[in-house]
Structure 1
């Protein structure tokens, strides 16, 4: 009798991995606690093979390790496969089995500390004896096989810096005709010669690995039939599905190597926005004068789309080829929102002609069946809306320890010693003479103080004032400039009302918690500098020679004796996020964002004992806002809907595209002071926005060919 096994293959550019320490070794301390698996990582690991551990295996650490090793040997062939780039320094060494004993030691230690009580507590890794680039991972009660794709480091870094982060990323975040005017520091998408061929070649490497994995699977167990379901994630890998199809068709004897596999169960999910037609048309108008997009013969030779009439515009040619590959390489395409689905359909019709593209939308508009006739290739692809959720097993109050102490302390930026030090110094020195920070740009306390207690600042200011926070990595798409400018209008008003804001005004602060990101890309360095300059301008308003505060010739005052904007270029730990979430009015001002899950994380921090929960301010055009507006109109999701509101109590929307967006931000900040959110937000996330529901819906859609929404069915 033939066994039928459905095997899921997940593909993403990044995955769970391991870094070596400065001695070039994996440390025991780094694996005693499982890595945090938020978002995509949690979803894909959660789709692994569920492992059951009998009670007798828990009688000793030795028996547990023996059982886990045996379980992997016997069931590894059934486990889903997660293919990712070998991004971290220790990935390939772990895969080779070099550190298997270390993971066993970690289990022994945690077992002795009574931290392992059931399968969900187990974190165990075992190298694959037959493949030096794979390892088996047991995490959160699930088994998954991780395959690491090896790259030449220099070319992979170039792939990330140029076609990925300098072209596709800014391109995806365009909307309408005036993004460059609205969002400060937003760069023109840039594509150099040979960049697109580099992009397709990198995706081709992933495709070869996928095909070899399928061959390995089919050559494994006799009398076993495998049904392969392939899921590919994110914009770095848009061409992979088409490359797999091509490699499959090029095989001399594909039926022998792959059985009846046709690769029609292949899905792609895009985690970032899709630009609209107006934005692309406007960009094409500017392309000749901007000269930011270049194609070589090598680039054009890599095209899969061969129209009867050559497309002369480089930008249009690249986008048409990418869309062609997405359409013909997958049976399903997924996006966060209805708008992104509609934009994709509109762009496909724009590139290929409405006579070759037909979209049949469902009654509710959340999905469509798109039929196409391109290059004599006639077929259809299912397109659906899948708003991502968060990892509820990892979120919530239990994730954030020691919240009441509010013990978040930060060192001054000029004293930090890390890889960003030289970049920060360089940027700051371009603004500040003599390499010294003036008081209005020094975002921490005066020279004699080494640390600033942000928790205490939040606590003290909240007594009779308000603290706002804007948190996330430094990126022009995050639009932190709008939060800073809106807050600037608020503090200007304070200065106009009161001669001495320390005595008469309401203390106001903005915690700008944004870590430098992708600083090897020029646009990110420029964005960071613009942000520093704006902070400088606003904090400068509080200079006053009458008061003996500050140092040198510069004196300044603020409501609490500190600069109103506290700019901390740090990554915020989970524990300290709680202090920010629970005690500040959070501002998420992106003009465009795929979904932006951080507000949902915030809404899960409070529990039933925390009665007062601060407001959240979000940009109207980010994916989360669009999804929340749609969900709030649905009486089945929000039972106590207020007819006068677009979103639940506790959320303020700002139209980041309007001419008066700064005024809107200021008013939203004013409206949020002293108000508290509805507990319905917390219930909404827990009931509907679990990331596991999201990935389950995507996989069910890929397997069945019928659309399933994560929580509306």
Structure 2
């Protein structure tokens, strides 16, 4: 059975030497599946992007097709920057103060979802034979119902990569019922945790009046399965990065550069969901509580650029510059700067160097669907401790972390000291537990588990817990 994937981003990228897999876990997990099964990946083409609309990959031995959906600037701004990033993203993370009125975005969101559904059906028709559709994330909530309206016998899976909030939060969006109906066009909807899955089922019950059970939602004569399928990283890839001699050499050089201090590491996109300002306040409080640690600990905070041009993100960048300056102004001594702040993108190989050098990973998002930085650190580190927000999906699975409330600066400061002072045996025991959990959640296991369940076969439990021919794009239903 071939596979048609629908996702916001394409799985391949142009490089100086040709096309290569995109960076990130999704491409890492699903490219091997596509290459084995055949099929297509439907993705967005941004307004200024110069890539082919139709592309066979790899060039020398094509195994699947990339089909790009071109977006003009106005619809890109309303669909992606608007509905996706200024409505659904903050809503999913309970940061309702950042949710903007959706009325100016919803029409573009519906129209772009319809175009993705058209493209998915078109490439499915070109594939011939039995096809599975697998749709990814909050950008594409209406696509499942659109596909089912055009192809009643379609096998449709959907994976939601961010938190699903409680029903009383999700219902804030005026089009909440239309969005729920869109998702319920799926046969299987996957979430990182059982808690998110339960929130979704309750949203369907409370907002649509649907009947629910522990396995899913009964809707329009169908039973839509709702399951936890926690995602992880490509463990072998990251372990390999950590074992390279050059990684260890560069990590040692970084420790020397920072003054042979204990390194507390933060790695995040510059996003208000990541709790960066509260983390900085917690580190400032740590320095106030423990003056004996001055000159002995440095916070190395990486913030990769994200959604530049969106006012909330631009403000966050300014605030991070200001709080970094304030902390260093208060506490710096001689060559020691308590905070080293790096605002730029890092490759996975570069991140492996940071993970290897760090004594503690300080991972404190306000909310996070999973948080793969915690996984990456556990896969690469030899001796580090993990301080992890209890409001991440990863907290459900990564035994061995020191858990914190990301809104409690005082508590985070004290937990950071606890992590820095862990005895060597305890540190290694915790790290071994983290590594074992990360290996069980490997991204390739995630993909296989989800597709096995979508196909109707019994899937192995998550850690801790064919139809008619497509009729073509013109037959796509509009659920809204």
Class of the TM-score when normalised by the shorter of the 2 chains: 0.7 to 0.9
Name the structure 2 match of 1:378. 221
Q: Which of 624, 627, 635 in structure 1 is aligned with 2:394? A: 624
- After superposition, the Cα gap between the structure-2 partners of 1:708 and 1:326, relative to the gap in structure 1 and judged at 3 Å, is farther
Higher Rg of the two aligned structures? 1
Alignment map for 1:392-411 (pairs within 5 Å): 392-398=235-241, 401=244, 402-406=246-250
Name the structure 2 match of 1:332. 188
Q: Which of 62, 76, 93 in structure 2 is aligned with 1:156? A: 76
Q: Which of 573, 578, 582 in structure 1 is aligned with 2:347? A: 573
Separation in 2 of the partners of 1:593 and 1:137?
Answer: 34
What is the TM-score normalised by the length of structure 2? 0.87
> Can you give the 5+ residue segments of structure 1 that lack an aligned partner in the other structure?
1-5, 20-25, 51-77, 93-131, 181-186, 219-225, 250-261, 285-314, 362-367, 409-452, 543-556, 629-646
Q: What CA RMSD, in Å, does the superposition of the two structures yield over aligned residues? A: 2.7
- After superposition, the Cα gap between the structure-2 partners of 1:684 and 1:35, relative to the gap in structure 1 and judged at 3 Å, is same
Q: Which has the higher contact order (CA 8 A, sep 6+)?
A: 2
Name the structure 2 match of 1:108. none
Conserved? CA contact 1:8–1:81, under 8 Å: yes
1:347-372 deviation line (CA, Å, top 9, x unaligned): 2222123xxx22221xxxxxx13113
Q: Does 1:457 pair with 2:239?
A: no
Alignment map for 1:304-703 (pairs within 5 Å): 315=173, 317-327=174-184, 329-353=185-209, 357-361=210-214, 368-372=215-219, 377-398=220-241, 401=244, 402-406=246-250, 454-458=254-258, 460-462=259-261, 466-495=262-291, 505=294, 507-542=296-331, 557-558=332-333, 561-584=335-358, 585-606=360-381, 610=382, 613-628=383-398, 647-648=399-400, 651-657=401-407, 661-675=408-422, 676-678=427-429, 679-681=431-433, 683-685=435-437, 687-703=439-455
Shift of residue 605, structure 1, vs aligned partner: 1.4
Separation in 2 of the partners of 1:625 and 1:391?
Answer: 19
Separation in 2 of the partners of 1:387 and 1:691?
Answer: 9
Alignment map for 1:105-184 (pairs within 5 Å): 133-137=54-58, 143-174=63-94
Separation in 1 of the partners of 2:208 and 2:284?
Answer: 47
Conserved? CA contact 1:163–1:191, under 8 Å: no
Name the structure 1 match of 2:5. 10
Q: Which of 31, 41, 49 in structure 1 is aligned with 2:27? A: 41
Name the structure 2 match of 1:432. none
Q: Does 1:82 pair with 2:41?
A: yes
Q: Which one has a larger percent helix, Structure 1 or Structure 2? A: 2
State how many pairs are aligned. 457
Shift of residue 245, structure 1, vs aligned partner: 2.2
Shift of residue 454, structure 1, vs aligned partner: 4.5
Shift of residue 142, structure 1, vs aligned partner: 9.2
> Can you give the 5+ residue segments of structure 2 that lack an aligned partner in the other structure?
466-480
Separation in 1 of the partners of 2:458 and 2:30?
Answer: 21
1:32-65 deviation line (CA, Å, top 9, x unaligned): xx44543110111121344xxxxxxxxxxxxxxx
- Is 476-485 or 382-391 further displaced after alignment? 476-485
Conserved? CA contact 1:81–1:145, under 8 Å: yes
- After superposition, the Cα gap between the structure-2 partners of 1:142 and 1:590, relative to the gap in structure 1 and judged at 3 Å, is farther
Shift of residue 563, structure 1, vs aligned partner: 2.5
1:531-578 deviation line (CA, Å, top 9, x unaligned): 223223322213xxxxxxxxxxxxxx42x5233111111222333323
Separation in 2 of the partners of 1:399 and 1:243?
Answer: 44
